[in-house]
Amino acid sequence: MHKNVKTGKNCEIGMYVIIGFPARGTEEGELETKIGDHAIIRSHTTIYAGNEIGDNFQTGHGVFIRESNKIGNNVSIGTHSIIEHHVIIEDNVRIHSQAFIPEYTVLKKGCWIGPNAILTNAKYPLSPNVKKDLKGPIIEENAKIGANATILPGIAIGRNSIVGAGSVVTKDVLPNCVVAGNPAKVINKIDNLPYRGK
């Protein structure tokens, strides 16, 4: 546990967990790290400094979370997932194992990210000024990203929509749609599904 870390009530912190690790260019304790009540942080998780995390937060084993993220209540991040810096994760978001969430991504309330899903933020990797042009995806409320799907930079996945497993999403997805394929295309509407996306 590094300096300037505040944890709430009834938190369970496993072995070999690091919390408040200083970000590049900062001193230890310079950025405050806050974790709310009833967190369960499992072994080998690393949480950098400057994160603000709500209540009932859970990680699997070996989760890696970079600095300066805002994470809401009731968020769960699966084993070996990576959350880069300056990410916004709203309440009730579930991120399964081995997902990659890059800088400047927004995950809105109740969305679901399947295992091995990859979100991206660099349209032209290693190009000049690439760091200035990073743009993460926006996953709207209650949208679901299937296992092994890839979401390209700056893409918006509409409210309640579903991205099929293994899809590559190259264009924005409207609300209440089901998309699949490479490139992903609309194959159905949520209202046509027997469970209505709930």
142-188 pLDDT tens trace:
999 999 999 999 999 999 999 999 999 999 999 999 999 999 999 99
| pLDDT tens profile 48-71 | 999 999 999 999 999 999 999 999
Range of the domain at 18: 1-85
Is there a single domain that holds both residue 146 and residue 189? yes
| pLDDT tens profile 38-53 | 999 999 999 999 999 9
Burial track 88-118 (b if 16+ CB lie within 10 A, e otherwise): bbbbbbbbbbbbbbbbbbbbbbbbbbbbbbb
Given a cut of 70, is residue 197 above it in pLDDT? Answer: no
CATH code for the domain in which residue 123 is found: 2.160.10.10
Is there a single domain that holds both residue 120 and residue 65? no
Per-residue tokens: 56? 């009932």
Average pLDDT of the chain to the nearest whole number: 96
CA gap 138, 108 in Å, rounded: 8
Is there a single domain that holds both residue 37 and residue 134? no
Beta bridge partners, 118, equal 100, 150
Is there a single domain that holds both residue 95 and residue 153? yes
Number of domains, the chain: 2
CA gap 156, 139 in Å, rounded: 6
